[in-house]
Chains A and B, each alone.
Chain A
Amino acid sequence: MSDNKDNWPLWEVFIQSKRGLEHKHVGSLHAADAQMAIENARDVYTRRQEGNSIWVVPAGAISSSQADDAAMLFDPADDKTYRHPTFYQVPEGAKYI
């Protein structure tokens, strides 16, 4: 990543396509500051009315889990099928449950 202070830093861009929906990651771009990142994101990622709102986040501010640890990290959820409604038997005839 470019943390050289002679170059514009990297920003991750999140776009909300419609009111009420979540902001979704769409890509990244370089910009001198947050305002420029938002303006550039508008030009790059919303040229066809894809956007209602834009978030930009300095790429360096994002922490992420390690792909190789995925098995271990998500292991606790593997054997807890009782967290899903389909685990339960519902007596025949019962409605709205």
Chain B
Amino acid sequence: MTMEEVKLEERFQAKIDAEQKIEPKDWMPEKYRKTLVRQISQHAHSEVVGMLPEGNWITRAPSLRRKAILLAKVQDEAGHGLYLYSACETLGVTREQTIADLNSGKAKYSSIFNYPTLTWADIGAVGWLVDGAAIMNQVMLCRTSYGPYARAMVRICKEESFHQRQGYEIMSVLAKGTPEQKEMAQDALNRWWWPSLMMFGPSDANSLHSAESMKWKIKRQSNDELRQIFIDRTVQQAEVIGLSIPDPALKWNEATKHYDWGEIDWTEFYNVISGNGPCNKERLAARNKAHDEGAWVREAALAHAAKKAKKKQAA
């Protein structure tokens, strides 16, 4: 690093330490920019791919009320993807490149969306657990150091709060229903519980980017911290609706005032991340199909806009 760069980096860190946001035109270390591009684009991709497992149930929602809610939720996810893609663009990468990286499989998205939604209860579990876990992370990110990212997160959090509630409502109605319905809810909880805990990422000790992200205040709470709060809250919510958490080691610890809990199967986590989850191929194929089949629409809209502009000029 040159003397100049050292000085710039000191000034950059001082801004962050003073809780000032970093804005697109500010000087920033290349690694900060790269970390943000990776994190924000992954986050955007997760919103977009996240529409697939839920979209799976739109046509089969059990009532018009549920269908309207699910449609609104999936539409929100598309919007959230867009807010995040926009934030990512302020860091100097084009939208086209970001999308191309998703479609080629180069970019990652949250591994949770590589699990299938087998029954209607899964839509409940996804809203309650997956959105619940996402919200923990997103509330923290409202205070992230990069201005455009923080602003996108504030919008997202405002809209996201109904997502978790509608999922919990689905679960609570099923849990109060026939024995078969209750069993369906329990089965969904059994399948989604551990993958939801994995959403917080590897344990702090093994987390690749954590220390630097904390120093730069991209992240403000550790993976393990957020995961523990999520567990403490969710166990209570499960009790209220009479479902049980599929973890025999789960036990209230009076000394720490937190739940102790079992072991996450990290082999499964890394396996799904590296492309071998139940739905990785299906998800990527669906994204590519949508992109390819939308090509003529993108071209036609441009041609139409050019024609209209020409007409206007002539008039």
Give the residue name and chain of the A residue nearest to B299 (CB). Answer: A6
A30 contacts chain B at the CB level, 8 A cutoff: yes
**Which of A7, A43, A44, A67 lies at the interface centre, i.e. has the most chain B CB atoms within 10 A of its CB?**
A44
B305 in contact with A36 (CB, 8 Å): yes
- Decide: B86 and A27 in contact? CB cutoff 8 A: yes
Q: Beyond A2-B95, A27-B83, A68-B27, is A33–B305 a contact (Cβ under 8 Å)?
A: yes
Partner of A4, one of B82, B96, B152, B159: B96
Q: Beta-carbon contacts of B11-25 to A below 8 Å, as 1s and 0s?
A: 000000000000101
* Interface residues of A, Cβ cutoff 8 Å to B: 1-2, 4-8, 10, 26-33, 36, 43-45, 47-48, 64, 66-68
Q: Are B301's CB and A36's CB within 8 A?
A: yes
A-B CB proximity, top 6 nearest: A33-B305, A32-B301, A32-B305, A67-B25, A28-B86, A67-B26
B89 contacts A28, CB within 8 Å?
yes
CB distance from B99 to the nearest CB of A (A): 10
Chain B residues near A44 (CB-CB < 8 A): 79, 82-83
Chain B's interface size range is 20 to 34
Is the CB of B94 closer than 8 A to any CB of chain A? yes
Report chain A residues within 8 Å CB of B257: none
Residues from 120 to 167 in B contacting A, C-beta threshold 8 Å: 151-152, 155, 159
**Any chain A CB within 8 A of the CB of B106?**
no
Q: Which of A7, A32, A64 contacts B96 (CB under 8 A)?
A: A7
B26 touches A68 (CB 8 A): yes
Contacts of B72 in A (CB 8 A): 47
- A26 to B152: give the CA distance in the assembly, Å: 9
**B23 & A67 in contact (Cβ 8 Å cutoff):** yes
Task: Mark out the residues of chain B between 165 and 201 whose CB falls within 8 Å of any chain A CB in the assembled complex.
Answer: none
- B224 at the binding interface (Cβ < 8 Å): no
Extra contacts besides A5-B302, A47-B76 (7): CB < 8 Å:
A2-B94, A8-B301, A10-B89, A32-B301, A33-B305, A67-B26, A68-B26
* In the complex, chain A residues whose CB is within 8 Å of the CB of B94: 1-2, 4, 7
Give residues of chain B (56-87) contacting chain A, Cβ–Cβ below 8 Å.
72, 75-76, 79, 82-83, 86
B298 neighbours in A (Cβ, 8 Å): 7-8, 32
Contact partners of A66 in chain B: CB under 8 A: 25
A57 to chain B, nearest CB (A): 14
Does B233 have its Cβ within 8 Å of any Cβ on chain A?
no
Query: Is residue B209 contacting chain A, with contact meaning CB distance below 8 A?
Result: no
CB distance from B61 to the nearest CB of A (A): 19
- The B289-303 residues at the A interface (CB cut-off 8 A) are 298, 301-302
In the complex the two chains form, is A29's CB within 8 Å of B82's CB? yes
